[in-house]
Amino acid sequence: MFLYLNGGMAYSQQDYERARARMEEVRRLDPNFPPALNMLGYAYIETGDPDPAKAVATLEHYAELQPGAPNPEDSLGEVFANDR
């Protein structure tokens, strides 16, 4: 949980590289933790070296874990909109 909270703090401070690193650590520990997948998807886009393919793959996995939930679909839509 500390890694997730630390990554969330980094993200809120717009330190997307650190947020990405922390969320990737969380994903290694628990590949199905939805909040981390959501933040990681955004972090892949916000970093200085954006990776839209990783963002989409991560958010698609997030959506698979929560079928019918609106936030995963919203997150995917935002990433697609920002990738243009």
Each of the 84 residues of the chain gets a pLDDT tens digit; together they read: 899 999 999 999 999 999 999 999 999 999 999 999 999 999 999 998 999 999 999 999 999 999 999 999 999 998 888 765
> How many C-beta atoms lie closer than 10 Å to residue 22's C-beta?
25
Task: Output the CATH code of domain 2-82.
Answer: 1.25.40.10
Nearest residue to 39 via CA among 53, 26, 30, 50:
26
Tokens of 55: 């963002």
Q: How many alpha carbons lie under 13 Å from residue 68 in its C-beta half-sphere? A: 0
pLDDT at residue 29, rounded to an integer: 97
Q: Please state the domain extents for the chain.
A: 2-82
